[in-house]
Amino acid sequence: MIRYLFFLLLLLSCQDKPIVVSNPTIIPKPVKMILNEGFYNWSSNAQIISDSLFVSEKKYFQKLFSIQDVKEKNTVYFKKNNLLLKEEYFLKILENQIIIEASSPNGIMHGIQSLRQIVPINENISSKKISINCLEIHDFPRFKWRGLLLDCCRHFMQKDFVKRYIDLLAFHKMNILHWHLTEDQGWRIEIEKYPKLTEIGAWRENKDGEKYGGFYTKKDIREIVLYAENRGIEIVPEIELPGHSVAAIASYPHLSCTGDSIKVETDWGVFKDIYCAGNDSVFTFLEDVLEEVIELFPSKYIHIGGDEAPKYHWENCSKCQKRIINNNLKGEHELQSYFIKRISDFLKTKNKVLIGWDEIIEGGIPENAIIQSWRGMEGGIVAAKNQNQAIMSPTSHCYFDYDLDAINLEKVYSFEPIPKELSQSESKFIIGGECNMWSERAPQELIDSKVFPRILAMSEVLWSEKEKDYTEFSNRIEKHYPKLDKLGVNYGYEKTPIKFNSTFKENEFIVSIEKGNSKMNLEYNVNNQGWKDYLVPLKFKKNTNLIVKEKNSKRKVVATKNLEFNFHKGLDKKTIYKTNYNPSYQADKEKTLVNGVAGSNHNFRDGQWQGFYGTDVDVIIDLGEKTKFSELSSSYFQYHLSWILLPKSIEYLISDNGETFSRIFYKDQICNPMQEGKFKEQFSYHGEQSARYIRLKAKNYGTLPKQHPAAGSNSWVFIDEFIIQ
Ligand SMILES: [Zn+2]
């Protein structure tokens, strides 16, 4: 970073001083790079001598660096070397010569991209004197499948934005764009035979009445596919079935079990309206659609989803049930396998290979299908042991829609796509990995901040050698940011941008803050009293509302976080959990209810909300001695689409011996499981009491009711604090 600033200053002060690139860095890290004696003096005039196989790459190179192909002292060679593997390349920078050798256009493209990371590109590169240290790179990928999933359904992304991402993928030697094109909330690809898919299915009416959507015409798609091809990127389209198909059913209601007319979905989640598996016209429809999709995408692969398909309607549909009986299937899971196999057989006749999410292995793995493992690594392990190829993208490391609290840069960097459970011969069925950018909570303008810098770690996991050093990577990241700046990437943070560590000691809260990037500055505001720089841990002796944010940020999404402290008699007291919170939402563990910190009104993932899945909350607070109090309050979160409901009932009890309790408060009928939105609700008892032990029981609502999209599944109770005043 400092060196770049230095160069910048040089540029501004004296235009004639040369830029010297003496120790270039590249992400993903090349397998081998050695610096040699001497310098190559960059010039916009250079003779380009290329093998005829690399005509398109030569054009790309000329345009990228504004090079005039004229007879000059400098020569750039694109040489064919048949001894190299498909994506392998040599890049040699000698005095007056740059040589890229590869056996395929993909290899040449990787060489060009490495060069692009070495040469300090800016608007008027031609007017600068640039000297690059002579060097040699020998490089090839560890995995052949290095992908990014872009969900253009939950939020539509403009054609130019998709092209920009293709460019960014190429820059980091990723080679697959997994393009998610159909969803509950929008159908995004023009299908001539079924025009309603885009007339109706591409648009949803948001709650405020606004019409939202968009789609890609066949012309758009051809343009994008060509753009990708010219950069060595393969686009794999995803057409979801049998679930995530509300938009298609909204367009053509006969595709569902009920035939009822429904609307394109506006909420996020898993929905029970899916394609009917008993109706042959559904298969005719899907085959017609796939035929048009195949015509547009040259890739050998078609992703058909296959995930999250609730079987509720199939269980109650006479056509589906008849299919189960006629085909001797064991229930709805085998009906799903039947569905996938029928599509797989169709794709085989078109010479295409089916890829599906790991649910498609339930009820038997379709022959030759590629499994994309997302619910952990297990699906990939089962696939590999069965000699099916697998792509690893577990939610634990690869879901870039998740907050940095869950998946930060270092965690992505620690990802190892080959599970220990596999033998060497089984491992070769793991063909690579993908990072998944689901867009429920990320419209186009937020995508950069989610994908970057995490994709840098993923590119290195999938390309570079297995042995890695995070500290060394961090140093290269610092030198990489200015390159991203030049490409206009509005990258986010490396880890949770603002993380509070609070302790309660001697009647005061002490809050220290961990920063998401080492170089960021923070400012804070206490009870709306004005902004101050954060330099040392903060201390508070009364109820406080603290707001912290990044100072002087140029990011599009500026980190800001607030913290609310409540002083009360339960603070830091001993708790006894009679039921267990879920490990995914453990918050401050046994301290959660008595740490003085309230959970957010709209974010149940803020680290203060504790979740109980399918079980009640039953916790005893031991105040240490008999204590007078006049209020008990606890609050709960509801967001029914994430299956989080208010409790069925709440009970407060007191005891002096910790064994026999008497009830002082009871309230039921507090939950409306279909009430929309995210909200927090508090339940208070008022009255003069005195006790040593106070017990809180909150009854889990139980299974989700019939009218819920995920009817029959367990629900969550989320609680943040138990206030004793
Ligand atoms: Zn049906």
pLDDT digits (tens, 9 = 90+) for 21-49: 999 999 999 999 999 999 999 988 999 99
Mean pLDDT for the stretch of residues 562-590: 94
Cα-to-centroid distance, 273 and ligand 1 (Å): 10
Report the helix count and the strand count for the chain, using DSSP H and E: 18, 34
Q: What is the pLDDT of residue 396?
A: 96
Q: Which of 455, 387, 384 has its CA nearest to residue 415?
A: 455
Q: What phi-psi label fits residue 181: left (phi over 0), alpha (psi between -120 and 50 degrees) or beta? A: alpha
The pLDDT, as a whole number, for residue 641 is: 87
Predicted confidence (pLDDT) per residue in 510-532, tens digit:
999 999 888 899 999 999 999 99
The predicted-structure confidence for 324-343, as pLDDT tens digits, reads as follows 999 999 999 999 999 999 99
Residue 503: pLDDT over 90: no
Instruction: Name the band, by pLDDT with cuts 50, 70 and 90, for residue 5.
Output: low
CA-CA distance, 30 to 372, in Å (whole number)? 27
How remote is the CA of residue 277 from the centroid of ligand 1, in Å?
A: 5
Query: What is the predicted pLDDT for the residue at 511?
Result: 94
| pLDDT for residue 124 | 60
Which pLDDT band holds residue 1 (cuts at 50, 70, 90)? very low
Please state the φ and ψ torsions of residue 281, each to the nearest 5 degrees.
Answer: -70, -20
Q: What is the pLDDT of residues 654-678, one digit of tens each?
A: 999 999 999 999 999 999 999 988 9
* Radius of gyration from C-alpha coordinates of the chain: 29
Q: Which residue has better confidence, 14 or 546?
A: 546
Instruction: Give CA–CA dist 571/181, Å, rounded.
Output: 50
Interatomic CA distance for residues 328 and 87, integer angstroms: 47
Look at residue 14 and tell me whether its pLDDT is greater than 70: no
- Cα(250) to ligand 1 centroid in Å equals 16
pLDDT at 4 (0 to 100):
53
Given a cut of 90, is residue 603 above it in pLDDT?
no
Q: Is the pLDDT of residue 553 over 90?
A: no
The helix-helix angle for 218-229 and 159-171 (nearest 10°) equals: 10
Percent of the chain predicted with pLDDT > 70: 97
Q: What's the CA gap between 392 and 416, in Å, rounded?
A: 9
Q: How far is the CA of 314 from the centre of ligand 1 (A)?
A: 5
**Total residue length of the chain:** 725
Distance 487 CA to ligand 1 centre (A): 49
Q: How confident is the model at residue 125 (pLDDT cuts 50, 70, 90)?
A: low
HEC secondary structure over 132-197: EEEEEEEECCCCCEEEEEEECCCCCCCHHHHHHHHHHHHHCCCCEEEEECEECCEECECCCCCCHH
> Span 380-406, mean pLDDT?
96
Q: Can you give the three-state secondary structure of 636-686, one letter per residue?
A: EEEEHHHCECCCCEEEEEEECCCCCCEEEEEEECCCCCCCCCCEEEEEEEE
Confidence bin at 506 (pLDDT 50/70/90): confident
Going from the Cα of 324 to the center of ligand 1, the distance in angstroms, rounded, reads 10
Residue 122's pLDDT band, with cuts at 50, 70 and 90, is: low
Over range 58-70, report the average pLDDT. 93
Q: Give the mean model confidence (pLDDT) for residues 69-98.
A: 96
Q: What's the 275 CA to ligand 1 centre distance in angstroms?
A: 7
How far does the centroid of ligand 1 lie from the alpha carbon of residue 320, in Å? 4
Give the Cα separation of 600 and 516 in Å (integer). Answer: 20
Going from the Cα of 295 to the center of ligand 1, the distance in angstroms, rounded, reads: 29
At residue 450, does pLDDT exceed 80?
yes
Tell me what the pLDDT averaged over the chain comes to. Answer: 94
Both structure tokens of 317: 């549909």
pLDDT of residue 123: 52
Query: Residue 386 above 70 pLDDT?
Result: yes
**Residue 167 or 676, more confident:** 167
417 C-alpha to ligand 1 centroid (Å)? 38
The pLDDT assigned to 6 comes to 52
CA of 253 to the centre of ligand 1 (A): 12
Average pLDDT over residues 555-579: 92
CA 30 from centre of chain = 25
pLDDT reading at 208 higher than 90 = no
CA distances in angstroms from 703 to 615, 669, 700, 715, 718, listed in the order given: 10, 16, 9, 6, 15
Residue 506 neighbours by CB distance under 10 Å: 6
Q: How far is the CA of 258 from the centre of ligand 1 (A)?
A: 7
End-to-end CA distance of the chain: 52
Distance 486 CA to ligand 1 centre (A): 53
CA nearest neighbour of 241 among 296, 197, 286: 286
Tell me the three state secondary structure of residue 225.
helix
Q: Which residues are within 5 Å of ligand 1 (an ion), measured at CB?
A: 257, 276, 278, 317, 319-320
The Å distance, Cα 341 to ligand 1 centre, comes to 17
Residue located via tokens 């004793």? 724
Predicted pLDDT at 430: 98
Instruction: Please name the helix (run of DSSP H) or strand (run of DSSP E) that holds residue 224, with its range, or none.
Output: helix 218-229
